[in-house]
Structures are given as structure tokens and as C-alpha cells.
Amino acid sequence: MVDYIVVGLGLAGISFCEQLEKNGKTFRVVTDDSQTSSLVAGGLYNPVILKRFTLAWQAEKQLKIAKTFYTDLEQKLGIKLDYTLPVYRRFHSVEEQNQWFVASDKKGLDVFLNTKIQPNTNESIDAPFGYGEVMHTGRIDTKKLVSSYEKHLQEKGLLLNESFKFSDLQLGDNGVDYGSIFAQRIIFAEGFGLKNNPYFNYLPLQGSKGEYIFIKAPKLKEERAIKSSVFIIPEGDDVYRVGANYERHDKSNEPTESVREGLLNKLKAVVKCDFKVVGQVAGVRPTVIDRKPMVGRHPKYQQMYVLNGFGSRGVLVGPSVSWQLYTYIENDEPLDSDIDSARFTQKFFR
Ligand SMILES: Cc1cc2nc3c(=O)[nH]c(=O)nc-3n(C[C@H](O)[C@H](O)[C@H](O)COP(=O)(O)OP(=O)(O)OC[C@H]3O[C@@H](n4cnc5c(N)ncnc54)[C@H](O)[C@@H]3O)c2cc1C
């Protein structure tokens, strides 16, 4: 008998397991490799929406919680996860420079937007209008995080590497039975896999596929993350991650030729040195209609919870939202109505 079963070990599952471990709760995790979002993510944490120069939802608060969360994880797992990385937004025009100035004066944004226009000093990049620098940004190595966390759970005997079999789930008054495990509660953190969950598939998860290509460009010599029509993110050893796109119709995890071509065209408009493509990855972001997480208790089954909707900012959102779910369950603290899955219950649940 354990306190919890957690289904899914991406950013959502990991951040919830961390709440459980910190609070001495017992649990088992069931996960498979049907979804790849946390494995292929760029891992950037950046509180600013770079299209409109506005702050992302609750970003300042989330950043504070996330920084401590990943530092604690680095110490616990004995690995480096958090790489400080300036994000440079390439300007397309003088108008954009002016919009940046206006935005950098606003309360909240002033902490993150450097007012000084950064001139381009890299001959391999075309950026005649220079850049705006976003401060306090960085990158979490999410692939390393997932594999190290899996290993951590495996060593403790807490991990079942299998697809969750809904036919093996039995609901009782005081908990759930799954095979030989009895748990008081079950948390579904399946990313886009939620679509196959018969208990929660009424929730309006949209899903947005994204792909990155990896290039090797020895002459590029860029150490910052550059945002133009695509992100160019340095990964070390002259390798850069380039992307990602947003695709609504294809919900597979397979990289495609057409996206690769599209990303290359965008890249060539900015990068002027030689490079070759050395890899490509794809995954489906768990996005929601209103772009907010979807968290809470099942409307009918009190022992079931959902932790989903991390969309395109899972690195920032994960730690604070998981903590909210934990305190909601254990301490009866109310969920922020913005993220409560109950906001969809009336409309979609029959
Ligand atoms: C191309 C791309 C780029 C991105 N870049 C960034 C970025 O720079 N910064 C950022 O913050 N976010 C980024 N994201 C978003 C981020 O990846 C997501 O927000 C986050 O990974 C979602 O985590 P999750 O745990 O909810 O889902 P997932 O990572 O999909 O994890 C769910 C897990 O549950 C498992 N699972 C599902 N169904 C079952 C089942 N029935 N049985 C057992 N296991 C199951 C899956 O296999 C998977 O392991 C990006 C995403 C993509 C695709």
C-alpha cells in the first residue's frame, strides 16, 4: 500500500514526485515512452513572451520557485541541469526597437528586459537592428533530467516501465488498486497521452507538435540563445538546436522532411556561415485552449487527479503548479482558478 501512483514521468510527473519525496509520501510511478515532449524540449526558461514583449502568466513567481527546485534537484541527483543562458531577441526593424524600449519601462518587465540595445558583433549572423537582451534566463537539460530521475526511481524500486493498463485499474472507496499496488490516490501526468485516458479525455487538450533540427556550425561561435523567427540554442561542441515549429494537425512524434526544410529556410535568412544538419527530434506539447495548466480532482472519482497542460513552458510552470496540486490534495488549499481543471468540467463533462 502506498500513498500515490503517478502515471507519466515527464516534467509534470517528476515535479510531482519531488513534492512527494520532500514530504515523505510513499509512491510508485508507471511510465512508458509513448510521449517525448520532455525529452525533446529546448528546456529554455524565459519569463517573457518574445512576440509581444509581455510577461508570461505568473512568470516572475514561477521563475523563483523553479530556480530553487532545479538547484535542489541538481544537488539531490548529483548532476548539472541548469545552464544560465542569455536570450537575445533579434529585432526586425527600428519600430521593434522602440516597442522594446516601451516594454522595458513597464513594471514587472523592467526586471527582465535590458533597456540597452545590443549591437550584433557576430559576423556569421545577420542582425542589422541588433538585439534586445532578456535577463535571468537559462536552459534546463530536460533530457538528462528525465533519464537521471528514472534511474533515481529505478534504484529505489519505485518505477514500473510499462504503459498504464486502464483495464487493470479498480476504484475503491478509499483508493485504487492497480495490479499488486494499492494506493490512496492516483495522479495522471501523461502529457499528450491524456487523450487515451478514459477518465480525463473529456478535457480540452489540444496538443501542438514541435520539431527541432540540430546543426553543426564550427564558424558560428555563438554562446547566447538567439530568437529570430526560430530559436538558435547553443548546445556545446559547435552544435546548435534550431526551432521549434508549432503544428496542430500532425500528432505523431516523428520528425518530418517538410518541417526540416521550413526550419532550414528560416535559419538561412539569419545565419550566414556553413553548417550541416546532424539531427532532428519531434514531440507533442500538451497545450490547452486557454494556454493554462489543467490540474485538479476528477469530478466523479475523488481518488483521481490530473496534472497536465504544461504547454510550451513546462520548465517554468512545472514546479509551482505541482506544488499547488500537492497542497490542494494534502492541505485542502484551494487551487488557483486559472489552472483548476474544474473550469472545463461543466462545459465538457457529462
Ligand atoms: C519541440 C518542443 C520544444 C519545447 N521547448 C520547451 C522549452 O524550451 N521550454 C519549456 O519550458 N518547455 C518546452 N517545451 C514544452 C515542454 O516540453 C512540455 O511543457 C513538458 O515537457 C510537458 O511535460 P509533461 O510531463 O506534461 O508531458 P510529457 O513530457 O509528454 O510526459 C508524459 C509522460 O507520460 C508518459 N505516458 C503517457 N501516457 C502514458 C500511459 N498510458 N502509460 C504510461 N506512461 C504514459 C509519456 O510517455 C511521457 O513519458 C517544448 C516542447 C516541444 C515538443
Residues 190 and 253 in one domain: no
Please report whether residue 297 resides in a domain: yes
CA dihedral 322, 325, 331, 333 (to 10 degrees): 120
Among protein residues, the one with the nearest Cα to ligand 1's atom 52 is 41
Which atom of ligand 1 lies closest to the CA of 192? 30
Determine whether the shortest distance from the Cβ of 169 to ligand 1 is under 6 A.
Answer: no
Q: Which tens digit of pLDDT belongs to each residue from 78-94?
A: 999 999 999 999 999 99
* Cβ atoms 10, 34 nearer than 8 A: no
Among protein residues, the one with the nearest Cα to ligand 1's atom 33 is 8
Residues 31 and 10 in one domain: yes
Please report whether residue 163 resides in a domain: yes
- The last residue of one of the domains, among 234, 264, 285, is 285
What is the C-alpha separation between 182 and 303, in angstroms, rounded? 12
Residues 166 and 315 in one domain: yes
Among protein residues, the one with the nearest Cα to ligand 1's atom 30 is 191
Domain count, the chain: 3
Residues 270 and 231 in one domain: yes
Computed over every residue of the chain, the mean pLDDT equals 96
DSSP notation for 108-135? TGGGTB-SSPBPP--TTB--TT-EEEEP
Residues 281 and 306 in one domain: no
Residues 115 and 253 in one domain: no
- The last residue of one of the domains, among 136, 165, 194, is 136
Please report whether residue 156 resides in a domain: yes
Residues 303 and 335 in one domain: yes
Residues 304 and 172 in one domain: yes
Determine whether the shortest distance from the Cβ of 310 to ligand 1 is under 6 A.
Answer: yes
- Residue 233 C-alpha cell reads as 540554442
- Residue 55 C-alpha cell reads as 510577461
Which atom of ligand 1 lies closest to the CA of 208? 53
* Cβ atoms 51, 222 nearer than 8 A: no
Determine whether the shortest distance from the Cβ of 33 to ligand 1 is under 6 A.
Answer: yes
Q: Which tens digit of pLDDT belongs to each residue from 286-312?
A: 999 999 999 999 999 999 999 999 998
With a CB cutoff of 8 Å and minimum separation 6, the contacts of 113 are: 48, 53, 100, 103, 104, 132, 133, 134, 135
Q: What pTM was estimated for this model as a whole?
A: 0.96
Distance from the alpha carbon of residue 82 to the mean position of ligand 1, in angstroms:
18
**Confidence band, pLDDT 50/70/90 cuts, at residue 158:** very high
Measured in degrees and rounded to the nearest 5, phi and psi for residue 166 equal: -65, -25
pLDDT at 152 over 90: yes
Residues 201 and 295 in one domain: yes
Q: Domain of 124?
A: 87-136
**Residue among 10, 16, 9, 7 nearest 329 (CA):** 16
Residues 157 and 180 in one domain: yes
Determine whether the shortest distance from the Cβ of 63 to ligand 1 is under 6 A.
Answer: no
Q: Which tens digit of pLDDT belongs to each residue from 164-178?
A: 999 999 999 889 999
Residues 128 and 110 in one domain: yes
Which atom of ligand 1 lies closest to the CA of 196? 41
Name the residue of 5, 81, 312, 341 whose CB sits within 8 Å of the most ligand 1 atoms, as the mutation to test its pocket.
312
- The last residue of one of the domains, among 270, 285, 300, is 285
Please report whether residue 62 resides in a domain: no
With a CB cutoff of 8 Å and minimum separation 6, the contacts of 121 are: none
Could you report how far apart the first and last alpha carbons of the chain are, in Å?
A: 32
Q: Which amino acid, residue 327?
A: T
Please report whether residue 75 resides in a domain: no
Tell me the mean pLDDT in the region 156-165.
98
Residues 273 and 243 in one domain: yes
Query: Looking at residue 324, which CATH number applies to its domain?
Result: 3.50.50.60
Query: Looking at residue 235, which CATH number applies to its domain?
Result: 3.30.9.10
Among protein residues, the one with the nearest Cα to ligand 1's atom 10 is 313
pLDDT at 330: 98
